[in-house]
Amino acid sequence: MTGALSMRATLTARGLDVEIGLAPGEHVAVLGPNGAGKSTVLGLVSGLLRPDSGRAELDGRVLFDERHWVPPHARGVTLLAQDPLLFPHLSVRDNVAFGPRASGLGARAARDIAQEFLTEVDAAEFADRKPAQLSGGQAQRVAIARALAARPALMLLDEPMAALDVAAAPMLRRVLRRVLEGRSALIVTHDVLDAVLLADRVVVVEGGRIVEEGPTAEVVARPRTPFTAGLAGLNLIRGRVTTESVLEDDHGVEVTGTPTEPLTSGERGLAVFSPNSVAVHDDRPHGSPRNTFPVTITELEPRESLVRVRAVDRSGDTLLADVTASSVGELDLYPGKQVFFAVKATAVTVYPS
């Protein structure tokens, strides 16, 4: 299997300094807030951007270092962007055949390849249409077929689902899951679902640096930064371990939880819990073995049958609670109100940071 990537690069103008690797056939999701540097990482791998320093290799071939620079078309890498960018005057089939033709194949062979990849993305029936006759999701599938027809060693995907309406995204995710099987891919996304469904591993970029990485399931279950906790829909408290199962945050608030592994007192630790394990109280609940956090409500957000209460704690970190609509009325919750979030120790997981 091909598609082994190693890259270390700095690009000062974009504040970027990263080191990233991919095993053959591996799918890595690049996550991070707006402006973190995710697209810049793809630009460096694809050759659309030149780093100030660093080195990259794909399957043992140098893409760039201090002396070498391989231009984008010769890298064996294709970039699939939000916008399918099909040639409007060519048929779907000719759009997909364009790459194989440009690489020197005869018309018939190139059309056969186009047919093969259009079939792979369930778009063979559109072969004779022009791009203007396709929906957003159909056009994106054709763009995937075109990218695959170039037989890249590595596929780069920059928010491939972002420009689609919600109804078209599941089908495209299914197609991507299938066609990426056995192919290396680096996928920039804002959506945790893309990471969970498409990636073996995630890399989180913040401020041009990698701040967290690991197997997708592990990062989602045990986030280490507020950003990934937010993506996973979990509350995260950072602090210092005082005893085996207790963490104290920077404001002296104690959190008791269930450790996933032995903790050493004094080390930095993290506590996570789900918004649906949180109860909201007007007054600090006494005499119960619960963790309580004084918070100020910032927002109430309806979510299906529940209401998500968004609040900030004394550290300024966001905490979430999912409560019933009736309890919003009974407790008279509103933005600006000070309340207590309570969560049982058994619902809190504690682990080293």
Query: Which residues here bind ligand ATP, judged by CB under 6 A?
Result: 14-15, 32, 34-40
CB of 232 to ligand ATP, least distance (A): 18
Tokens of 262: 């032995």
Kindly tell me which of 38 and 173 has the beta carbon lying closer to ligand ATP.
Answer: 38
Burial of 115 (0-12, 13-18, 19+ CB in 10 A): middle
Kindly tell me which of 98 and 227 has the beta carbon lying closer to ligand ATP.
Answer: 227
| Residue length of the chain | 353
CB of 226 to ligand ATP, least distance (A): 16
Q: For residue 188, what are the β-bridge partners?
A: 30, 158
Q: Following CA atoms 237, 242, 244, 246 in sequence, which dihedral angle do they give, to the nearest 10 degrees?
A: -40
Distances (CA, A) of 321 to 237, 250, 298, 350: 14, 21, 12, 19
CB of 272 to ligand ATP, least distance (A): 24
Kindly tell me which of 17 and 249 has the beta carbon lying closer to ligand ATP.
Answer: 17
CB of 188 to ligand ATP, least distance (A): 6
DSSP string, 168-230: THHHHHHHHHHHHTTSEEEEE-S-HHHHHHH-SEEEEEETTEEEEEEEHHHHHHS--SHHHHH
Kindly tell me which of 116 and 212 has the beta carbon lying closer to ligand ATP.
Answer: 212
CB of 40 to ligand ATP, least distance (A): 3
Kindly tell me which of 16 and 92 has the beta carbon lying closer to ligand ATP.
Answer: 16
CB of 195 to ligand ATP, least distance (A): 14
Kindly tell me which of 40 and 95 has the beta carbon lying closer to ligand ATP.
Answer: 40
- Given strand 154-158, what is the order of strands in its sheet? 77-80, 154-158, 184-188, 27-31, 201-206, 209-215
